[in-house]
């Protein structure tokens, strides 16, 4: 399985990668620091699961989401965001995300995410 972790924060990426690794062995994990990078990586590597932050410089999650799906329609997108407004959740689901999960991510939450997917 290929995973893409997209977040402008190093801390967020680190903790995500760490909790992912506790559940998944031999995972191929790519990292991007903004939406534009994410789209490029998706085009090249076609990851199965894309973790996507919303608030990022250059290109934010809302803009990146449809572009990722366009580049690789089979990708499952999990939005990991601090923005827990109901409307934010509705919006990303409408854009094609599978899940909206509140930051921060720990091992327990990651288990739940992987179970659902």
Partner 1 sequence: MNSIILTEDEKDVLQELMNVAYGNATAVIAEMLDAFASLSIPNIKVMQVSELMERFNQLKDSSYFFSTQAFMGEFNGESAFFIDEESANNLAKHLELESIEDLDDAILELTNVLTSSLTTRLAQEMDTEVSFALPSISKVPLNEIANVDTFLQYSQVIVIDTDLNFEDQMIHGKIFILTKDESIQWLRERIHTILEALI
Contact residues for partner 1, defined by CB under 8 A: 8-12, 14-15, 18, 54-57, 81-88, 102-104
Q: In angstroms, what is the minimal distance from the CB of 77 to partner 1? A: 19
Q: Which residues contact 4 (CB under 8 A, 6 or more apart)?
A: 29, 30, 31, 32, 38, 41, 42, 45, 47, 49, 50, 51
Q: In angstroms, what is the minimal distance from the CB of 53 to partner 1? A: 9
Q: Which is nearer to partner 1, 75 or 101 (CB)?
A: 101
Q: In angstroms, what is the minimal distance from the CB of 117 to partner 1? A: 23
Tally of CB atoms within 10 A around 90: 11
Q: Which residues contact 70 (CB under 8 A, 6 or more apart)?
A: none
Q: Which is nearer to partner 1, 74 or 85 (CB)?
A: 85
Q: Which is nearer to partner 1, 4 or 13 (CB)?
A: 13
């Amino acid at each position: 399985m290929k995973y893409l972790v997209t977040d402008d924060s190093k801390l967020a990426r680190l903790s995500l990668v760490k909790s992912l690794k506790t559940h998944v062995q031999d995972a191929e994990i790519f990292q991007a620091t903004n939406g534009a990078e994410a789209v490029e990586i998706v085009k090249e590597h076609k990851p199965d699961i894309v973790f996507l932050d919303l608030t990022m410089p250059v290109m934010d999650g809302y803009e990146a989401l449809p572009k990722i799906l366009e580049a690789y329609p089979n990708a499952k997108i999990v939005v990991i965001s601090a923005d827990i407004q109901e409307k934010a959740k509705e919006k990303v689901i409408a854009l094609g995300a599978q899940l909206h999960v509140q930051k921060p991510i720990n091992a327990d939450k990651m288990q739940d995410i992987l179970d659902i997917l």
